[in-house]
Structure 1
């Protein structure tokens, strides 16, 4: 297993987001620690997606060549072989930054940890999705 991205090791990432939240939702930090702080890391509940890389490379999207990595979630509750399995849709991200790591290969297993910040108090257009760690096996 190779950790290709670990946000906790890059503490400066949160400065701009904290400033943006302070300017738009000043009361958010009355009850929530600053993003990226030790208290914030202790308080968050990360979502975990386990999946398999199904595509790595270029596709044509809306007439433009785009370099992506596609992942099929492998959560047994949704993707198992049982009669009650519902299936999760495959999702893709543009290959940039850590997604360009050479450890990524088709059929490689991947674990993505993330958290969604809701400064308005609700999941809405102001919500911020943050990948916190990505591991490839």
Structure 2
């Protein structure tokens, strides 16, 4: 298994802008939650884990534009993707940039994404912040 991304736990530099934005727009968020990236935040974290199979890597034309993407078919213990009798989940794609440019990212490989979604308003809405904390490919 190749870890292509692992968010730095020792540094909070990556979280500075997020904390500033939350403090200015949703100061009440920090009444119930520690500052993003702090050791308290990491210890309270319960990341979502999603698994999938990479079905496409490279350019895709959409509405006359060319995009470089990684397309992933979600897989989990209950919804085993394209298995006979399984309930399929919609494929999703990520822009092929940063760590998604790794040579490990190839069609047919499996991916595990650990992430957390911050809900500054308490609900999943346009203010929610999605943070990938670790991405592995095998």
**TM-score normalized with structure 1 length:** 0.93
The yes-or-no answer on 1:8 pairing with 2:8 is yes
Structure 2: give runs of 5+ residues left out of the alignment. none
Cα RMSD of the aligned pairs, angstroms, is 1.4
Distance 1:105 1:21 in 2: 36
Task: Show CA shifts across 1:28-64 (max 9, x none).
Answer: 1111100011110111111111111100000101101
Distance 1:61 1:41 in 2: 38
**Structure 1 runs of 4+ with >3 Å offset:** 80-83
The yes-or-no answer on 1:78 pairing with 2:109 is no
Alignment of 1:25-64 (within 5 A): 25-64=26-65
- Residue 78 of structure 1 aligns to a residue whose secondary structure is coil
More deviation, 74-83/94-103: 74-83
- Residue 45 of structure 1 aligns to a residue whose secondary structure is coil
- Residue 107 of structure 1 aligns to a residue whose secondary structure is coil
Distance 2:68 2:84 in 1: 34
More helix by share: 1
Q: How many Å apart are 1:74 and its aligned residue? A: 1.4
Task: Show CA shifts across 1:7-42 (max 9, x none).
Answer: 135531100000000000111111110001111011
Aligned residues: 136
The yes-or-no answer on 1:125 pairing with 2:126 is yes
Q: How many Å apart are 1:97 and its aligned residue? A: 0.7
Q: How many Å apart are 1:82 and its aligned residue? A: 6.5
Q: How many Å apart are 1:76 and its aligned residue? A: 2.6
- Residue 89 of structure 1 aligns to a residue whose secondary structure is coil
